[in-house]
Structure 1
Amino acid sequence: MRDKTELMNQTIPASAWNKSKRSGGGSGGDCVEVAKLQGGRAVRDSTNPDGPVLFFTDAEWTAFTGGVQDGDDNLL
């Protein structure tokens, strides 16, 4: 991926969004949803699916999820 604009310009079908199993899956409470894209991930608020979307390149997503797994306090 040359720049994040390519990632942000992808069409995201409704079926691409997934909620964490730890939130109760499709019927859980307030949570975020993640969609896997070519070259990265998109993240949105499940209670506001038409609201803003955050985009992460594959490298950014790997760093973020690795930090979460390691308990990195600097992520918040």
Structure 2
Amino acid sequence: MKIFKKIVLEKLSNLEYGQTEILSEIKSLKQADQALLDLVEKTYRKTEQIESKLDHHANMLDVLATRTTHQEAEIKGLKIAK
């Protein structure tokens, strides 16, 4: 009976160690998951900033194109007026 009890206690000890290892890995996975989520959120925010800047630059290019067209028309009119 002592041998059986010893074997059972060893198996139980191994199971407890295995459970501790599994819990440790789960904790590591949760931390890695959180790090990935943080990275995704930062990437999303940065993408929104870039899109906002692109929209702003596109609007500025439209303004510059309009100004250029008006200035070219004024120059053409001045050349004709000479």
* Same fold? TM cut 0.5: no
TM-score bracket, shorter-length normalisation: under 0.3
Structure number with the bigger relative contact order (C-alpha 8 A, sep ≥ 6) is 1
State the TM-score, normalized to the length of structure 2.
Answer: 0.22
State the TM-score, normalized to the length of structure 1.
Answer: 0.23
Rg larger for: 2
Higher normalized strand content (fraction of residues): 1
